[in-house]
Amino acid sequence: MKAPLQTRLAAEIVSRRDALIRLTQDLIRIPTLNPPGRNYLEICEYLAGQLGKAGFKVNLIRAEGALGDSVAHPRWNLVARHEGAGAGDCVHFNSHHDVVEVGHGWTRDPFGAEVEGDRIYGRGSCDMKGGLAVSIIAAETFIAACPGYRGAIEISATADEESGGFGGVAYLAERGWFAPDRVQHVIIPEPLHKDRICLGHRGVWWAEIETKGRIAHGSMPFLGDCAVRHMGAVLEEMEATLFPLLATKRTAMPVIPDGAKQSTLNINAIHGGAAEQAEDYTGLPAPCVPDRCRITIDRRYLIEEDLAEVKGEITAMLDRVKTQRPSFDYEIRDLFEVRPTMTEKDAPIVRTTAVAIEKVLGRTAGYVVSPGTYDQKHIDRIGRLKNCIAYGPGVLDLAHQPDEWIGITDMEDSAKVMALVLAELLAP
């Protein structure tokens, strides 16, 4: 008698452990740094070779004209599709292939992909080349074990997630690659841990606030109007009224970590007065009253909040400052916004993945929502596809850190879960 499909898939994945490690290492060793967007074509061509051998039809798509795309740094994406033996749903695994800068503090070669014990080290190992490799091994394993499956499997590796995804998933979604009649289920293997399902993310609003003053000689500041002092009043008002207000807003979304279950605001940057001098300048600054001061704010908002209200809170706060300071004047500019998104818990991909986690790991799946956004926003808003989650191996806290690593056993377990999801959705 043939063993049950789940058992065969699990055994097959264990036997492909070396292939999984090698694939992850190969991906880490292609330094796809973003910015500026290096080696995107190289990694897509590497994946095209791997997936072509496995019987996938491969498309390489350059996001020509998208934000960030240039002749020096073209934004290349890969979408590979494997057709089953009959009609059925398409399950799509989407990973970003870009990684963030290395930063300081590494004790290993960031692109060496060293294996030590149960870990593979390197920039992008956890976020998210490990997850990409896992989805490929899971798909290859399922196809080999179940060649008569119904529907289709797609794997994509996309650019620029770390810088907004406009040359990646957004570009593809605008061109119909995630349209609901083409793709029915999406898993994004971001590092949320092998036993958790990430349903979505909070919203984002970035804006620049500028206070205005009048330049004058620094020895006679009374002849000018200091924009930095005006900004000081804005910051004081924020501390007194805005931060306490944000702390009272709590979401029912299962956001992790706990501190992100409330509305948050970060001041990303502040600048006022004379421009900072070049590092080789050895002179003193000139005495002037600053006539401009700017801050950039990063407001993360909840699914229960309305973006117009979120913006209204800031303008109301600035208007309160104005009533206290007769010469106060400001401007506010929108930089970027993303609406919150959350897939329903009873969506097919959520239910199927929860069942697979329980069968493979013997424990119930946890449900989380990400504090920051990822490419699900484009699949939801542009692609109009709601049946989408993030699920993949790795410890989220290690993303963007020195000595980033991914656990090999965690990758193996996630591959078993993903292969079983394919079996549940596509096996005849």
From the list 121-129, 148-156, 207-215, 237-245, the region that binds Zn ion by CB under 5 A is 121-129
Q: Is 105 exposed, middle or buried (0-12, 13-18, 19+ CB in 10 A)?
A: exposed
The partner residues of 150 in beta bridges, in order of sequence, read 86
What is the per-residue binding string for Zn ion in 178-197, x denoting contact by CB under 5 A? ------------x-------
CB of 20 to Zn ion, least distance (A): 19
Note whether 127 binds Zn ion by CB under 5 A. yes
Q: Which is nearer to Zn ion, 30 or 128 (CB)?
A: 128
Between the alpha carbon of residue 79 and those of residues 45, 47, 147, 221, 425, the distances in Å are 11, 10, 21, 61, 20
* Alpha-carbon gap, residue 170 to 223, rounded angstroms: 50
Q: Which is nearer to Zn ion, 160 or 190 (CB)?
A: 190
Note whether 160 binds Zn ion by CB under 5 A. no
CB of 71 to Zn ion, least distance (A): 26
Residue sitting closest to Zn ion (CB): 127
Number of helical (H) and strand (E) elements in the chain, helices listed first = 11, 16
Q: Which is nearer to Zn ion, 147 or 372 (CB)?
A: 372
From the list 123-131, 170-178, 271-279, 418-426, the region that binds Zn ion by CB under 5 A is 123-131
CB of 16 to Zn ion, least distance (A): 24
The partner residues of 390 in beta bridges, in order of sequence, read 188, 198
* Alpha-carbon gap, residue 128 to 24, rounded angstroms: 10
Which 190-229 residues touch Zn ion, going by CB under 5 A? 190
CB of 394 within 8 A of CB of 406?
yes
Between the alpha carbon of residue 242 and those of residues 78, 236, 296, the distances in Å are 44, 10, 16
Note whether 136 binds Zn ion by CB under 5 A. no
Q: Which is nearer to Zn ion, 190 or 424 (CB)?
A: 190
Between the alpha carbon of residue 273 and those of residues 229, 286, 291, 334, 428, the distances in Å are 11, 10, 7, 22, 68
From the list 52-60, 119-127, 229-237, 315-323, the region that binds Zn ion by CB under 5 A is 119-127
- Strands ordered across the beta sheet of 115-116: 115-116, 119-121, 405-407
Q: Which is nearer to Zn ion, 128 or 426 (CB)?
A: 128
Q: Which is nearer to Zn ion, 128 or 368 (CB)?
A: 128
CB of 183 to Zn ion, least distance (A): 20
Tokens read off for 193:
């841990």
Which residue in the set 128, 146, 255, 318 belongs to the binding site for Zn ion (CB under 5 A)? 128
CB of 342 within 8 A of CB of 200?
yes
Which residues are at the interface with Zn ion (CB under 5 A)? Answer: 127-128, 190
